[in-house]
């Protein structure tokens, strides 16, 4: 029988507490009346009021969401179609292409940021949503592709054959057999992509246009000039959204 020693439990607990400490402090200090983070002057909702009246932040949030959705859509099409295409017999360039396709999650973000900036200006693409969606998709496609491919590898091919034998068309087979099977993979790939796009700073800074500011970029520039309680409030809001998303994904996974 597996047993967990007391020391192990204490270790797990301690690391988890440390893991949460910065987050908890952020939440606590978002309710701080004082403008200084080092002094506690009592409870207040002022920073939240300020946040909800800050038009720039609302716009940045909207931009982040639009960008994440666009990225998810593009990555979904590319990743899933590739996973479906490459499950059977391999073509000569398949390994080469899928190898390169996975590269963006391996190489440092800063390199991606700079190569995208260089190539987009060379291609004369308008900097903004177009360039950012492409750049973000470069690191989301591999996740969706690899997750869905892993899921397909575990799939029994005879399921589809049976459907075909029973008279289902190819499309029907896909819709009724294959798709439901890979759906959990697609869902977790999409959630991951959404979160990563939403979170990304480095690549965004290099591919953003003059008019598109995302929330992550905004937080980053604000943090560089020193933190304000407003960022704490914003962080808390984002935290709540994240927690909700995780709960939803857990729920869907169970079903």
Q: Find the binding residues for other proteins in span 192-231 (CB under 8 A).
A: 195, 198-199, 201-202, 206, 216, 219-220, 223-224, 227, 231
SS3 label, residue 43: strand
Does residue 146 bind other proteins (CB under 8 A)? yes
Buried b (16+ CB within 10 A) or exposed e, 99-127: eebeebbeeebeebbebbbeebeeeeeeb
The torsion of the CA quartet 253, 16, 199, 97, rounded to 10 degrees, works out to -60
153-192 residues near other proteins, rule: CB under 8 A: 170
Contact between residue 141 and residue 79 where contact means Cβ atoms under 8 Å apart: yes
Among 176, 243, 248, 252, binds other proteins (CB under 8 A): 243
Q: Which is nearer to other proteins, 46 or 109 (CB)?
A: 109
Q: How far is the CB of 225 from other proteins (least distance, A)?
A: 11
Closest CA to 87 of 76, 96, 98: 98
Contact between residue 105 and residue 139 where contact means Cβ atoms under 8 Å apart: yes
Does residue 12 bind other proteins (CB under 8 A)? yes
Contact between residue 185 and residue 149 where contact means Cβ atoms under 8 Å apart: no
87-126 residues near other proteins, rule: CB under 8 A: 88, 91, 93-94, 97-98, 100-101, 103-104, 106-111, 114-119, 122
Q: Which is nearer to other proteins, 43 or 93 (CB)?
A: 93
Q: Which is nearer to other proteins, 46 or 199 (CB)?
A: 199
Q: What's the DSSP call for residue 53?
A: T
Instruction: Count the residues of the shown chain that bind other proteins, applying the rule CB under 8 A.
Output: 84
15-54 residues near other proteins, rule: CB under 8 A: 15-16, 19-26, 29, 37-38
CA distance 143 to 137: 10
Does residue 67 bind other proteins (CB under 8 A)? no
């Amino acid at each position: 029988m597996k047993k967990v020693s007391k020391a192990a439990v204490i270790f797990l607990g301690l690391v988890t507490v440390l893991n949460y400490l910065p987050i908890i402090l952020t939440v606590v200090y978002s309710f701080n009346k004082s403008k200084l983070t080092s002094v506690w002057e009592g409870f207040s909702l002022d920073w939240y009021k300020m946040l909800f009246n800050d038009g720039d932040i609302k716009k940045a949030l909207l931009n982040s969401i639009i960008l994440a959705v666009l990225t998810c859509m593009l990555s979904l099409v590319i990743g899933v179609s590739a996973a479906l295409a490459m499950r059977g017999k391999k073509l000569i360039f398949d390994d080469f292409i899928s190898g390169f396709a996975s590269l963006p999650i391996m190489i440092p973000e800063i390199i991606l940021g700079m190569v995208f900036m260089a190539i987009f200006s060379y291609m004369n693409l308008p900097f903004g949503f177009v360039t950012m969606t492409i750049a973000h998709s470069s690191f989301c496609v591999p996740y969706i592709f690899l997750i869905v491919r892993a899921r397909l590898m575990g799939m029994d091919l005879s399921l589809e054959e049976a459907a075909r034998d029973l008279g289902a068309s190819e499309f029907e087979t896909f819709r009724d057999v294959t798709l439901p099977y890979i759906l959990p993979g697609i869902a977790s790939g999409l959630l991951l992509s959404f979160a990563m796009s939403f979170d990304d700073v480095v690549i965004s800074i290099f591919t953003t246009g003059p008019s598109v500011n995302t929330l992550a970029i905004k937080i980053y520039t604000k943090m560089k000039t020193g933190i304000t309680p407003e960022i704490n409030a914003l962080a808390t809001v984002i935290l709540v959204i994240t927690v909700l998303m995780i709960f939803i994904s857990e729920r869907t996974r169970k079903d």
